[in-house]
Structure 1
Amino acid sequence: MKVVDNETWVMNQFSSCDLKHKTRTKRLQSVASNMLACPEKSLPGQNTQWKDLKAAYRLFDRPDVTHAAICRPHWEKTRATRPGRYLMISDTTDIDHYSHQATTGLGMLGDGKGRGMQLHNCLAYDCHNQKIVGQAGAMLFYRSRAPKKESRTQRLKRTREGCYWGEVVDQVGPPPEGSQWIHVFDRGGDNFESFCHLAQSGCDWVVRAAQLHRNVLDHEGDTKKLSEVVDNAQLLGSYEINVRSRPGVAARTAKINVSVATVSFVPPAHKSSYVKQCGVNEIPMRVVVVQEVDAPKGVTPIRWVLLTSLPVETFEDAWQVIEDYEHRWLIEEYHKVIKSGCSIEQHALRTADRLEPLIALISVIGIRLFELKLLGRNERETKASGRVPSSWMKCLTILRPNLKAHELTVYEFFREIGKLGGFLGRKSDGEPGWQTIWSGYQKMQSLLVAMKLLGQIETKIRG
């Protein structure tokens, strides 16, 4: 994979946005470039001239500049996957704007005292190349208080938070020919409505179960509680993991049993309007149980119950399901990127409608920051020369004069960038995180800007 510079990246991501006017699309690219140069700053910090800041405010105030309009080209590029195996990892995060009391149109967060919105993202991950492809879909929504004395029937008639998992599945759509897409959900996505969307999407899934008390059909067609099926699942094998210590719990070596069962989910007694209309009456799937045995006294044993459409006949099949679910940390890390790296909760605009396109822009910029962490991990032998921009190689040579930059692999190049940001690179240090890589990248960017200005000055003097 060839790495492009920021200018080319911004052009690739935003030049085809349909904002109903060419000047708006150009302005969006300008705002994106300024944001990418210093993503942690506010809009005034990114657009230091008043005319640029005023133009940014006007851009986000236009009715045609929406969250979907800004993200759609990026989503479409992400979904155009090459043949292969991909994880579609989803989760919801709160965007807290409690400190911005003047902003109108926000929903409630937490116990109702918080103010903000919720962002449900779906990230595409290339299993073979072990890299983030991009954001495949997303949805913003606002939580409101449930009506007092609301019945279950009334609740099912309105849009609920659990609905968005399935709606984003529909937004992402079916995979292109030759691609296998596997949706990965945490317990928040465990509801029959979500499984209906998944079953009709043409995709596979791995979902962590939250509702073990539900009724299911076992492999013989008998109605049982899912918890009973889990307790009687067939053992496939065992393995051991080292569990790190945490407050009040000592480090330990945990023995994990892996079991499997086959079930079918059936509609609940109380159905939403969507479940009534979709026509899905039964959804077969496998249950992979990951259970710690002989846990020390006083320690909550490790336990995952994973629901999947993937075939599970052997321990190796079950291990693949477990490995797929373990990649869920990627979206949690991505949410940290847009919050701490892009300061998404610090931006203040007058209305929630204006915030939505700004959050869209930040979401795409966050992909650029996050992908730097994973770039080069699988290219330990590929030479960086020809894969990374030549200007980046020049900068690293200037910043590290004793380094033979032309001999570096892609993997070594990004480790050196991480060192510019404070990564020590000792044997026990592991791999640099996105924050240290980004910090080093920013130092390199400052030098790039200086080199560009110097080149412009030299051109003027010669002219």
Structure 2
Amino acid sequence: MVASKTVCLRRLSRGDRALEVRFNRFLGHDKVTAERIIESWGEGTVAAVGGRHVLAIQDTSEIHFNTTSQRRRGLGEIGKGNNYGVLLHPLLAVDADDGTCLGLLSGQIWTRKGRRATSHDDRELSDKESQRWISTVVAARPLLTKAAAVTVLGDRESDIFALYASSAEQRVHVIARSMHDRKLADRNDLYEASDAMAAVDRRAIELPARAARPARLAQLELCFGAIELARPQSKFLRHLPKSLSLAVIDVREINAETGVEPLHWRLLTSHEVTSVEDAWRIVQWYKQRWIIEQFFRVLKTQGLKLEDSQIGTADRLLKLVAIAAKAAVITIQLLQARDGGQQPILVAFNENEISTLAALNQQLEARSKRLKNPHPPDSLAWAAWIIGRLGGWDGYPSSKPPGPITLKNGLEYFQAVAAGWSLRDMCML
């Protein structure tokens, strides 16, 4: 999938009907489950998180698959009920210091089974889809024991009191963008309190591009303070503390250009924030959330085009989404690795592939004795240098780094070589 930039089984098979049948049988096998594939996501991530401050970034994306009233493929409603598809909620590990994508940790993939008759307010958290924001973190916690620190990070939908409360139990910190104007312990409103805080600094922040917004330099005004967040009045939350001590960081864009919606983030965090630099550090960490947006783009419109899959049943689509998620992360890691970095090679390549890369590297360096792979051989950057060379990049530091198409071409070539290399010790009679 990474090499071919597609999840279409027919294209992956390249005209080999037997291979296409084997792919379908794999997805249809009872012992192959989406849950087990998700469990395997973190196998390469565990080694990468050691000693790092990890941002565990989570979000939910709707994956729309075309259906008709006669052929729903077993898929439930998404969006406003006018589309059908699958929901994907991954937890992505990112280095807080340099933004390196370390890999997937845990997640959930599901399709809805009809509409719920009981209203949202009359159900326990465990009976709501929003429980995923907590259970996904709980599932990932064993994989993060060697991390120096962990900060769970999410957008507005993760503004859940129970998530803030559970962070202490899981020994992690949390940063979430506020969605609700909550009550504080003194019965004042959160937004009223943050609006009353004095601005303490201004700074220019580079905002990455999004689907409906080009990249731009935003002038932000900062204020922050400590708050005591009151527990919501729901009867289902009475087992949680009556209040939680958090910090709020309020950043607002000033002097935005005409026609541009000004940025305004109210960030709630369990981190202690006592200085201007502490507050800006929280803002910088929250900015890393764009990596999961990039992940979803690679998975869908700008990469693997997952939504174009023609697989006919929901259970197989769930498995396909789980596999494609891993492919999307490897794509991001390779793009990051082309500029260097310390990602271990094992996050993307197995032992046989590494030995293939070593042989290819020796061959590439022999062709041009003055041009050497500058990266450590146990790093993903070392592999990306080789893949880029195979795709047509000249390898010189003065040249522009290889782009997605060059890496794609190099991966396709490498995939064929690796298949042959795996047969090198077979006895042909």
* The two structures share one fold, judged by TM-score above 0.5: yes
Is residue 2:196 matched to residue 1:229?
no
Once the two structures are superposed, residues 71-112 of structure 1 have per-residue CA deviations (whole angstroms, 9 ceiling, x without a partner) of 313325424631221110111111211258745321112222
Amino acid at match of 1:405: L
- Equivalent residue for 2:162? 193
For 2:363 and 2:188, how far apart are their aligned partners in 1?
64
Q: Could you tell me how far 1:231 is from its partner in structure 2?
A: 0.9
- Equivalent residue for 1:31? none
Is residue 2:136 matched to residue 1:162?
no
Q: Could you tell me how far 1:287 is from its partner in structure 2?
A: 0.6
1:214 to 168, 182, 186: 182
Structure 2: which 5+ residue stretches go unaligned? 343-353
- Equivalent residue for 1:310? 271
Q: 1:323 to 1:425 in 2, by over 3 A?
A: farther
For 1:415 and 1:440, how far apart are their aligned partners in 2?
10
* Alpha-carbon contact 1:121-1:135 (below 8 Å) kept: yes
Is residue 2:246 matched to residue 1:285?
yes
For 1:145 and 1:65, how far apart are their aligned partners in 2?
25
Q: 1:407 to 1:290 in 2, by over 3 A?
A: same
Higher relative contact order (CA 8 A, sep 6+): 2
Q: Could you tell me how far 1:338 is from its partner in structure 2?
A: 2.2
Q: 1:108 to 1:345 in 2, by over 3 A?
A: same
Once the two structures are superposed, residues 23-59 of structure 1 have per-residue CA deviations (whole angstroms, 9 ceiling, x without a partner) of xxxxxxxxxxxx4553515223324544443333233
For 1:147 and 1:49, how far apart are their aligned partners in 2?
44
1:312-327 → structure 2 map (5 Å cutoff): 312-327=273-288
Q: Could you tell me how far 1:298 is from its partner in structure 2?
A: 5.7
For 1:450 and 1:99, how far apart are their aligned partners in 2?
40
For 1:348 and 1:76, how far apart are their aligned partners in 2?
29
* Alpha-carbon contact 2:51-2:147 (below 8 Å) kept: yes
Aligned residues: 409
Partner SS, residue 224 of structure 1: coil
2:6 to 33, 40, 43: 40
- Equivalent residue for 1:61? 28
Partner SS, residue 350 of structure 1: coil
1:375 to 293, 312, 337: 337
For 2:216 and 2:12, how far apart are their aligned partners in 1?
47
1:73-152 → structure 2 map (5 Å cutoff): 73-79=40-46, 81-99=49-67, 102=71, 104-128=73-97, 130-143=99-112, 146=115, 151=119
For 2:309 and 2:216, how far apart are their aligned partners in 1?
43
* Alpha-carbon contact 1:103-1:349 (below 8 Å) kept: no
Is residue 2:319 matched to residue 1:357?
yes
Q: Percent identity?
A: 25
Is residue 2:240 matched to residue 1:270?
no
Q: 1:237 to 1:436 in 2, by over 3 A?
A: farther
* Alpha-carbon contact 1:166-1:195 (below 8 Å) kept: no
Is residue 2:401 matched to residue 1:437?
no
For 1:430 and 1:44, how far apart are their aligned partners in 2?
34
- Equivalent residue for 2:350? none
Once the two structures are superposed, residues 406-463 of structure 1 have per-residue CA deviations (whole angstroms, 9 ceiling, x without a partner) of 254476984685587688999999765545533443345456667889x799x96xx9
Structure 1: which 5+ residue stretches go unaligned? 1-34, 381-385
Is residue 2:310 matched to residue 1:348?
yes
For 2:338 and 2:392, how far apart are their aligned partners in 1?
19
- Equivalent residue for 1:257? 221
For 1:344 and 1:245, how far apart are their aligned partners in 2?
22
For 2:392 and 2:164, how far apart are their aligned partners in 1?
45
- Equivalent residue for 1:334? 295
The TM-score with structure 1 as length reference comes to 0.74
Amino acid at match of 1:316: E
Once the two structures are superposed, residues 266-321 of structure 1 have per-residue CA deviations (whole angstroms, 9 ceiling, x without a partner) of 221234x4x34x43332211111111234456643221111111111112211211
* Alpha-carbon contact 1:199-1:283 (below 8 Å) kept: no
- Equivalent residue for 2:348? none
Q: Could you tell me how far 1:172 is from its partner in structure 2?
A: 1.5
For 1:71 and 1:243, how far apart are their aligned partners in 2?
31
CA RMSD of aligned residues (A): 4.0
Partner SS, residue 235 of structure 1: coil
For 1:195 and 1:448, how far apart are their aligned partners in 2?
47
Once the two structures are superposed, residues 221-274 of structure 1 have per-residue CA deviations (whole angstroms, 9 ceiling, x without a partner) of x22111111112243322124679999999986432211111122221234x4x
